[in-house]
Amino acid sequence: MDWDWKYAGDILPDLLDGLRYTVIATLAGYVIALVLGLVWTLLRRTPSRVFNQAIRWITEFIRSTPLIPQLYFVFFVLPAWGVTIGSLTAGIITLGIHYSTYTAEVYRAGIADIPRGQWEACTALNLPRSRVWLDVILPQAIRRVIPTLGNYLIAMFKDSPMLFAINVAELLFAANKAGSVSGEFLEPMTMVGLLFVIVSVISSILVRRLERRYATT
């Protein structure tokens, strides 16, 4: 089967438009994952053992469930309960919630890695609890886990084609649509792979630069 450069050029704008939705879904979902993951982590540190275990089992359930059934639940099941969400929004929310359970474990490990002396110093200085977390603990913990958090951004980008399952017009959706119309899938699917590689490599380089600048060992 020969490569058709003209056909590849014709479908490139549609693929780039799909890539735009892929990037939007990934970045928006990543913001949710970062924020909600920190919320999960802090809730796990509450004194109530019952509440602590409830949060633990919720996050464990989400983390142990495949992403596609979660997408189907949010997009197809929730409307039956009166909650209708657009496909892109549903994809962003589901990606964010799913990956928040992973970032929560990353934050937890970063906090656990803070030397005990830091906590004791805060106690000795009688710092308010809010200052302990915002000025002492979290800045150090987050710097320690920047590499892992960055890796989850790339992982989320590579999982974004699953949004095809709920008809989000992302990159794979655009490629499949182009192939279905023309009957030729070599060019669109190959270009999808190349675009994913290009964006992943660029993201990896940016994450490594961020790591060298801010992360600690």
pLDDT at residue 125, as a whole number: 82
- What digits encode the pLDDT tens for the residues 188-214? 999 999 999 999 999 999 888 887 877
Query: pTM for the whole thing?
Result: 0.91
Q: List the domain boundaries for the chain.
A: 5-214
Task: Please tell me the CATH code under which domain 5-214 is placed.
Answer: 1.10.3720.10
Q: If you count DSSP H runs as helices and E runs as strands, how many of each does the chain have, helices first?
A: 9, 0
* 216: confidence class by pLDDT, cuts 50, 70, 90: low
Say if CB 31 and CB 96 are below 8 A apart: yes
**Structure-model confidence comparison of residues 214 and 96, the more confident one:** 96
pLDDT at residue 131, as a whole number: 85
Q: Token match 């989850």: residue?
A: 152
Residues with Cβ < 8 Å from 138, sequence gap 6 or more?
Answer: 38, 111
Average pLDDT, rounded, for the chain: 91
- What digits encode the pLDDT tens for the residues 109-139? 999 888 888 888 888 888 888 888 888 888 8
| Average pLDDT score over residue span 102-108 | 94
Rounded Cα–Cα distance for residues 107 and 102 (Å): 9
The half-sphere exposure of 134 on its side-chain side, counting CA atoms within 13 A, is 5
Query: Across 32-36, 127-131, 178-182, which has the greatest mean pLDDT?
Result: 32-36
Percent of the chain whose predicted confidence (pLDDT) is above 70? 98
* 21: confidence class by pLDDT, cuts 50, 70, 90: very high
Q: Record the tokens describing residue 58, joined without a space.
A: 């919720």
| Average pLDDT score over residue span 82-95 | 94
pLDDT at residue 162, as a whole number: 94
The gap from C-alpha 52 to its chain's centroid, in whole angstroms, comes to 24
| Average pLDDT score over residue span 30-55 | 92
52-61, 155-164, 201-210, range with the lowest pLDDT: 201-210
pLDDT at residue 75, as a whole number: 95
Please report which helix (H) or strand (E) contains residue 172, including its range: helix 171-182
Which residue, 117, 105, 95, 94, is CA-closest to 40? 105
Rounded Cα–Cα distance for residues 140 and 20 (Å): 34
Say if CB 193 and CB 98 are below 8 A apart: no
First-to-final CA distance of the chain: 51
| Average pLDDT score over residue span 65-89 | 93
Q: Record the tokens describing residue 163, joined without a space.
A: 């949004």
DSSP letter assigned to residue 83? -
